[in-house]
Amino acid sequence: EDQVTQSPEALRLQEGESSSLNCSYTVSGLRGLFWYRQDPGKGPEFLFTLYSAGEEKEKERLKATLTKKESFLHITAPKPEDSATYLCAVLRKGSNYKLTFGKGTLLTVNP
């Protein structure tokens, strides 16, 4: 059974204070690992897909990395508008494109 564990459950940062969110996964045959951002009362918004260990993707203040067991979402010099819940999901090969999601990390960035 595919498993995705995100930590911490909640993270509070000061504006400009860089940090990382963790996503540990167990899947037999990884097709891809996905990061989403979810604002309160809205649907998840796609951020990145990582396909193989060693791959990195960047978007503004966010950088996602992938190893064979976990992924990190690094947030550099965050701003209050980066406050959201960040979701991680994995796709197993041959699973009809079904994603398995973690429970998310609630990030709050204080001004």
Partner 1 sequence: NAGVTQTPKFRVLKTGQSMTLLCAQDMNHEYMYWYRQDPGMGLRLIHYSVGEGTTAKGEVPDGYNVSRLKKQNFLLGLESAAPSQTSVYFCASTDSTREAYEQYFGPGTRLTVT
- Contact with partner 1 (CB under 8 A) among 62, 66, 91, 109: 91
Give the one residue of 22, 70, 72, 101 binding partner 1; rule: CB under 8 A.
Answer: 101
Burial 80-97 (b: 16+ CB within 10 A, else e): eebbbbbbbbbbbeeeee
**Could you say whether residue 87 binds partner 1 (CB under 8 A)?**
yes
Cα separation, 69 vs 53, in Å, equals: 9
Q: Using the rule CB under 8 A, is 61 a contact of partner 1?
A: no
Give contact residues for partner 1 (rule: CB under 8 A): 31-32, 34, 36, 41-46, 49, 87, 89, 91, 96-99, 101-104
